[in-house]
Amino acid sequence: MATQIFRTESSSKTTTIPTRLDNKSGKRIVLWKDIQQYFKHADGVLNNGEAVVFLTNENFEYLDPLRIAHHPGVVLVIRGPEHEVTESIKTGPASQTGTTTVKDAMNELFERLQVEMNKNKALEEQMLRTQQSIETKQDETQQRLVEMRQQIEQIENKQQGSTEMQKQALDRLAVIQNRIHALITQTNELHEHPLPRLFIVLPKAIRGRDKTRKAQADQFQVYFLCECGAYTISENGTNSPTIHLSNHEGYDLEKPTEFFEKYGTYVLALMYMIKHGVKVGDVVVPSLADLATVGGLDAGQKQPDHLKNIGSLVDDSITFLQSQKYDNIPEGGESMELAITRALEGGVDLQHLGSFLKAKSEHALGNLHRVITNEGHVKYMCDEHCRHT
């Protein structure tokens, strides 16, 4: 057991008092009441002439009970009158001080070591508990991650199924919309195009004595065009993608002046289209050099003589229309095609076209028949192309 050695100021005789272990600080101390038990008149302790003060807390208040720090290997001096100690305290000559001091130091070192070992053991136990808690939380976190992955997979599967169902629904909706659009288009075009929309004017056959006369509005006839397009195929399997004059002798005009006032610009656009060739939408018109004059004629039929020189007839019609100030369309180039497209799509009212035509009692105007395409569009076509549509 660690001890502390004391003597009085007036004597070299020493007294050994046992120390105590402070559990809170882990250090050895000597209680003041233990000192007073052996030195009843003690009023202080000196170490090499300096006062040994009582220990205090963090507020510098004396600890209760009063105590001083252990000074191993040091003989502390009791200040005050010498008093006889009790027989229970071992005394000895100063010569024994060295041996006692070494033992006290070793005992104190061992006790401190024991305290540190206890602290380390407690720390190890706390670290072990912390590690176990961390491992438990890691396991829980891992389990939650697995559950979250499963939930995400389920959500993705549901989304994929929902996307597929939406795609199918959109496909069905598109089909329905296309059918409705075709029906609406068909209904609108049946109303908007009760008559063929493509027609030109050509001069009538001129008698010899009239060749020098200036062209007049009543000297022209209306000829309708077959609206065959790239969707028609001939019997031999080849495409027939061009429009042509219908198999008809043409119509004289009622009120020709009013006719040209109403349709002059529109007809001029079509005349340019016939002369130069153009593609407007799915309607392809060859140039005049490649134009089939009359379509659908039997091999034994003869075309009208005055139509054999159709090139000059088209030029005469264009010259007349230009002279009537209907020429607001540039002739030739991309600008002509754009202007023709605008003219054809410009909302020309063709519902009253029949009122300007003479001898129109036949069932099919211009020997053309109304055909409705798969897209709901209305076309007017000759007998041959109707058979192959």
Q: Are residues 113 and 199 in the same domain?
A: no
Q: How high is the pLDDT of residue 277? A: 73
**117, 148, 167: which is the final residue of a domain?**
117
**100, 117, 134: which is the final residue of a domain?**
117
The answer to whether residue 248 is domain-embedded is yes
Q: How high is the pLDDT of residue 88? A: 40
DSSP string over 219-232: GEEEEEEE---TT-
For 333-356, letters b (16+ CB in 10 Å) and e give eeebbebbbebbeeebebeebeeb
Q: Are residues 356 and 224 in the same domain?
A: yes
Q: How high is the pLDDT of residue 54? A: 94
- Residue 264 structural domain: 195-387
How far apart (Å, rounded) are the C-alpha atoms in residues 8 and 78?
Answer: 5
Q: How high is the pLDDT of residue 184? A: 45
Task: Tell me the mean pLDDT in the region 312-336.
Answer: 75
Tell me what percent of the residues of the chain surpass a pLDDT of 90.
28
Phi, psi of 315 (to 5 degrees): -60, -40
Q: How high is the pLDDT of residue 185? A: 52
**pLDDT tens digit string along 127-169?**
999 999 899 999 999 999 999 999 999 998 888 888 888 888 6
**pLDDT tens digit string along 54-100?**
999 999 999 999 999 999 999 999 998 644 444 344 444 544 555 56
Q: How high is the pLDDT of residue 164? A: 85
**86, 117, 148: which is the final residue of a domain?**
117
How far apart (Å, rounded) are the C-alpha atoms in residues 175 and 181?
Answer: 10
The answer to whether residue 146 is domain-embedded is no
DSSP-derived pairing of the beta strands 378-381 and 20-21 = unpaired
pLDDT-derived band at 194 (thresholds 50, 70, 90) equals confident
For 118-153, letters b (16+ CB in 10 Å) and e give eeeeeeeeeeeeeeeeeeeeeeeeeeeeeeeeeeee
Q: Is the entire prediction scored with pTM above 0.75? A: no
Q: What is the domain count for the chain?
A: 2
DSSP string over 196-208: ---EEEEEPPPPG
**pLDDT tens digit string along 333-359?**
555 566 566 655 555 677 888 889 987
